[in-house]
Chains A and B, each alone.
Chain A
Amino acid sequence: MRSLAIVALSAGIAAAGPARVGPGIYHPAYPASPSEREVAVAAFWLDREPVTNADYLAFVRAAPEWSRGRARSLFVDKDYLGHWRSSDDLGTALPKAPVVRVSWFSARAYCAWRGGRLPREAEWELAAAADARHRDASADPAFQAQILKWYARPTPAILPAVGGAANAWGVRDLHGLVWEWVEDFTASLVTSDSRDPTRSQVCGAEAAASKDPSAYATFMRTAFRGSLDGRDTATSLGFRCAYDRSPR
């Protein structure tokens, strides 16, 4: 654990360390079956902020096989880390801004290097359902409207730094800065029976299967995740890591 702590410090992790989230119940927007309308989520630890450009630069220095130009095209698309000036120079990207233009494969490699893993969708959604005061604010129209407002705006050319207000779990920037990879990003749309037409990822068929037709913000996250392949990168897509036990 000692070496992990050193790695964590050298990567610029906030001194407070990851936040403990859960246990709790997650209600999937598109339950795979009626018995899966409620998913029990065990307690886990989650980075308080998204992984930043500075964090990720430390990673590619330690693991050059993941640097831009060297990462295998099987695992990253051609725009991987395309917002940096070079493989070792952030250019105009802010060191404290969330790293974007990373693939699912590269995000997983980063988290493994940190001694963690990507959060599962149920874990991420449980953490993201909290507002500043309530662990489950998902039924609050004002909270949902605030999230939708961010979804409706294009991504700025230069992303601002992390450090928004903490939610009830002590986690920041789950909304309002970037989309985030989850371990099982295809889970919502995959079904044991692929012939089932109601499991289409398009249009009304998806809505017909959903638990709450007014949960527009959830639809949008699910749609975004559904549009991705593991090697894809995007200007608004970053990640943070989760841990099964306290890294301290």
Chain B
Amino acid sequence: MAWRGMAVAVVLGVLAKTSLLLLVASACHASSAAPTDDFIEVVPASSQPDVTSTPVGHPLIAQLTTAPEVPAKIFRNHPAHVIVNLTVNEVEKEIAPGVRYTFWTFGGDVPGKFIRVRQGDVVEIHLKNDPSSKMPHNIDLHAVSGPGGGAESTFTAPGHESHFTFRATKPGLYVYHCATAPVPMHVANGMYGMIFVEPPGGLPAVNHEYYIMQGELYTVGKYHAPGLQAFDMDKGIDERPTYVLFDGAEGSLVGDKALTAKTGDTIRIFFGNGGPNLDSNFHVIGTIFDRVYTEGGSIAQEHVQTTLVPSGGAAIVELTVEAPGTYAIVDHALFRAFNKGAVGQLKVTGPSRSDLFSAKQADVAYAGGPVEAPRLRTDGDPVLQMGESTFGRICAACHQPNGLGLPGQFPPLARSDYLAKQPKEVIIGHLLHGLQGPVTVLGMTYNGTMPPLAFLSDNEIAAVLTYVRASFGNSLSRITPDEVSRVRGQTASAP
């Protein structure tokens, strides 16, 4: 049934594309009227700029980037002949600490390389399929007006290369993806990326441009089950993802890899949704988007909290950050953020703005320099070593590697009065069954969701609790596997 649905969707997609061509033509360059950028060309609103004029100069090789980087803005005032070299690689990568997956990729990473061209460019796509690939692959670019979006022209066996040429006639942010049968599996395995067709003169200048794509993974093992995970076809058909991720891995935009900016900076995010199934509810906690070019098109909505990005769709999001701190980037379908990995971070440094935020602002205290709690030396103690490893694999994503949590989002474990007060059985129960609803830790109330971790063994739960209770400034007693086993048994036999 899913396949028939897919076929219908494809047909609808083709119809939608056709009617969009008619609709968009008149509204193309609303944004270029904004006089904020010195480089903007004056383009009469009614004209279709140079989409049929001959490209000028020698062919250019497109500079491609890996997420979250974006290629430099295009300042050319004429269309060019642009060559895009993409190589498909099938590669094993880490999606969460200790969890691996075999991705199929455009360029070795998920999402695929970001392509930036100018409206009117003649674009020559060269698709190489690495000799080690198991599968044939191709590419369907939503920026193409033509059958299959290039898919039929680029159907490429392992160890071969195909190419085709198209004219980038319509400006906008477009998804590209593999369209080889079985298409949903190719997309679920990471075969998506984006191409930005820049209008003449480009969008207004900003301080930072970033590239983020969301996608789902369907694995045989549960969330965070360690080891190499295989694709689960049944979960894919049922649209029950195990992971919902930004840029192909949990933590790909967290900690050292967080997006960065300074207070007062303007930021543009080229956000895409590879899917293959879910829509994204893109939101950056603690910000209001100044502008969203919804669906990657040419008209911007202003002052948006959350923007809906369909599977196989995109949005250009612009925001200004005024206060220092860490801002969480989420899919606001929140179980995906808290239980399936769809969390990133935007770290903003610089002076705080007391005229915009009161001293109660939690971010201020955080940016003011948290007290580092000492980590435990685990040398020579196999239980503590197992605990440290489990903590890094499972807990650190939310509670942070330093155990300090994130103010307002994830409670700290360091010097935790909650840990000290609650009976062991209650704490063990939190790991086995998860925790929902408000808890107060060190005077701050947290109202989030911790997922159940019952897939961990009794030994692992005992080890990680022992590690946390002896680490991060805590000095609480050990917890044994027997104690964990008892709690597990009680709840299993409870009515």
Binding site for B on A (CB under 8 A): 79, 141, 144-145, 148-149, 151-155, 157, 200-208, 210, 213-214, 216, 219-220, 222-224, 226-228, 232-237
Give the distance to chain A from B137, nearest Cβ to Cβ, in Å: 8
3 pairs of A and B residues whose beta carbons are closest in the complex: A213-B3, A227-B136, A204-B10
**In the bound complex, do residue A202 and residue B132 qualify as a contact, i.e. CB atoms below 8 Å apart?**
no
**In the bound complex, do residue A214 and residue B3 qualify as a contact, i.e. CB atoms below 8 Å apart?**
yes
Given A148-B231, A152-B102, residue A227 in contact with residue B131 (CB < 8 A): no
Given A207-B4, A216-B185, A235-B158, residue A148 in contact with residue B135 (CB < 8 A): no
A1 to B158, CA, bound (A): 39
A225 to B257, CA, bound (A): 41
Q: Which residues of the partner chain B approach A154 to less than 8 Å between Cβ atoms?
A: 90-92, 102, 132-134
A228 to B6, CA, bound (A): 25
Q: Which residues of the partner chain A approach B234 to less than 8 Å between Cβ atoms?
A: 141
**Interface digits, B124-146 against A, CB 8 Å rule (1 contact, 0 not)?**
00000001111110101000000
A229 to B302, CA, bound (A): 52
Q: Which residues of the partner chain A approach B135 to less than 8 Å between Cβ atoms?
A: 151, 220, 223-224
- Asked if B160 CB lies within 8 Å of chain A CBs, one says yes
A155 to B158, CA, bound (A): 10
A219 to B236, CA, bound (A): 16
Instruction: Using CB atoms, name the residue of chain A closest to B89.
Output: A154
- Asked if B181 CB lies within 8 Å of chain A CBs, one says yes
Give the distance to chain A from B385, nearest Cβ to Cβ, in Å: 31
Chain B contact residue count (CB 8 A cutoff): 43
26 A-B contact pairs sorted by A residue (CB < 8 Å): A79-B159, A151-B134, A152-B231, A155-B134, A155-B158, A201-B155, A203-B148, A203-B183, A204-B6, A204-B7, A204-B10, A204-B183, A207-B182, A208-B3, A208-B7, A213-B2, A214-B237, A216-B182, A223-B135, A224-B135, A224-B157, A227-B155, A234-B160, A235-B131, A235-B132, A235-B158
A148 to B183, CA, bound (A): 14
Q: Which residues of the partner chain B approach A236 to less than 8 Å between Cβ atoms?
A: 134, 158
**In the bound complex, do residue A228 and residue B7 qualify as a contact, i.e. CB atoms below 8 Å apart?**
no
A200 to B179, CA, bound (A): 12
**In the bound complex, do residue B181 and residue A220 qualify as a contact, i.e. CB atoms below 8 Å apart?**
yes
- Asked if B11 CB lies within 8 Å of chain A CBs, one says yes
Q: Which residues of the partner chain A approach B158 to less than 8 Å between Cβ atoms?
A: 155, 234-237
A151 to B189, CA, bound (A): 12
A200 to B9, CA, bound (A): 16
A227 to B127, CA, bound (A): 13
A237 to B129, CA, bound (A): 14
**In the bound complex, do residue A227 and residue B182 qualify as a contact, i.e. CB atoms below 8 Å apart?**
no
Q: Which of A144, A205, A227 has the most CB of B within 10 A?
A: A227
Within 8 A of A (CB), among B87-138: 90-92, 102, 131-136, 138
- Asked if B180 CB lies within 8 Å of chain A CBs, one says yes
**In the bound complex, do residue A227 and residue B156 qualify as a contact, i.e. CB atoms below 8 Å apart?**
yes
Instruction: Using CB atoms, name the residue of chain B closest to A232.
Output: B157
- Asked if B1 CB lies within 8 Å of chain A CBs, one says yes
Q: Which residues of the partner chain A approach B233 to less than 8 Å between Cβ atoms?
A: 144-145, 148, 214, 216
Given A214-B237, A228-B157, residue A207 in contact with residue B3 (CB < 8 A): yes
Q: Which residues of the partner chain A approach B152 to less than 8 Å between Cβ atoms?
A: 200-202
- Asked if B151 CB lies within 8 Å of chain A CBs, one says yes
A35 to B234, CA, bound (A): 30
- Asked if B56 CB lies within 8 Å of chain A CBs, one says no
A100 to B306, CA, bound (A): 52
Given A149-B231, A151-B135, A155-B132, output 7 extra A-B contacts at Cβ < 8 Å: A202-B140, A203-B140, A223-B180, A224-B135, A224-B136, A228-B157, A235-B159
**In the bound complex, do residue B148 and residue A213 qualify as a contact, i.e. CB atoms below 8 Å apart?**
no
A41 to B10, CA, bound (A): 35
Instruction: Using CB atoms, name the residue of chain B closest to A234.
Output: B158
- Asked if B21 CB lies within 8 Å of chain A CBs, one says no
Q: Which residues of the partner chain B approach A208 to less than 8 Å between Cβ atoms?
A: 3-4, 7
Give the distance to chain B from A178, nearest Cβ to Cβ, in Å: 10
A194 to B160, CA, bound (A): 25
A149 to B219, CA, bound (A): 11
A189 to B155, CA, bound (A): 13
A213 to B2, CA, bound (A): 7
Give the distance to chain A from B126, nearest Cβ to Cβ, in Å: 16
Given A149-B230, A153-B134, A214-B237, residue A222 in contact with residue B102 (CB < 8 A): no
A203 to B137, CA, bound (A): 11
Instruction: Using CB atoms, name the residue of chain B closest to A216.
Output: B182
Q: Which residues of the partner chain A approach B148 to less than 8 Å between Cβ atoms?
A: 200, 202-203
Give the distance to chain B from A125, nearest Cβ to Cβ, in Å: 16
Give the distance to chain A from B333, nearest Cβ to Cβ, in Å: 26
A156 to B110, CA, bound (A): 21
**In the bound complex, do residue B134 and residue A203 qualify as a contact, i.e. CB atoms below 8 Å apart?**
no
Give the distance to chain B from A215, nearest Cβ to Cβ, in Å: 9
**In the bound complex, do residue B155 and residue A155 qualify as a contact, i.e. CB atoms below 8 Å apart?**
no
Instruction: Using CB atoms, name the residue of chain B closest to A79.
Output: B159
**In the bound complex, do residue B136 and residue A202 qualify as a contact, i.e. CB atoms below 8 Å apart?**
no
Q: Which residues of the partner chain B approach A79 to less than 8 Å between Cβ atoms?
A: 131, 159
A112 to B92, CA, bound (A): 40
Give the distance to chain B from A41, nearest Cβ to Cβ, in Å: 24
A223 to B1, CA, bound (A): 20
A234 to B159, CA, bound (A): 6
A149 to B189, CA, bound (A): 12
Instruction: Using CB atoms, name the residue of chain B closest to A225.
Output: B136
Instruction: Using CB atoms, name the residue of chain A closest to B177.
Output: A203
A148 to B186, CA, bound (A): 12
A232 to B10, CA, bound (A): 30
Instruction: Using CB atoms, name the residue of chain B closest to A213.
Output: B3
Q: Which residues of the partner chain A approach B132 to less than 8 Å between Cβ atoms?
A: 154-155, 157, 235
Instruction: Using CB atoms, name the residue of chain A closest to B237.
Output: A214
Instruction: Using CB atoms, name the residue of chain A closest to B3.
Output: A213
Give the distance to chain B from A237, nearest Cβ to Cβ, in Å: 8
Give the distance to chain A from B127, nearest Cβ to Cβ, in Å: 12
**In the bound complex, do residue A234 and residue B131 qualify as a contact, i.e. CB atoms below 8 Å apart?**
yes
A37 to B138, CA, bound (A): 29
Other-chain contact of A207, B7, B140, B155 (Cβ < 8 Å): B7
**In the bound complex, do residue A202 and residue B155 qualify as a contact, i.e. CB atoms below 8 Å apart?**
yes
Give the distance to chain A from B138, nearest Cβ to Cβ, in Å: 7
Other-chain contact of B181, A145, A207, A233, A235 (Cβ < 8 Å): A207
Q: Which residues of the partner chain A approach B8 to less than 8 Å between Cβ atoms?
A: 204
Instruction: Using CB atoms, name the residue of chain B closest to A207.
Output: B3
A227 to B189, CA, bound (A): 19
Give the distance to chain A from B214, nearest Cβ to Cβ, in Å: 21
**In the bound complex, do residue B151 and residue A152 qualify as a contact, i.e. CB atoms below 8 Å apart?**
no
A79 to B159, CA, bound (A): 9
Q: Which residues of the partner chain B approach A210 to less than 8 Å between Cβ atoms?
A: 3
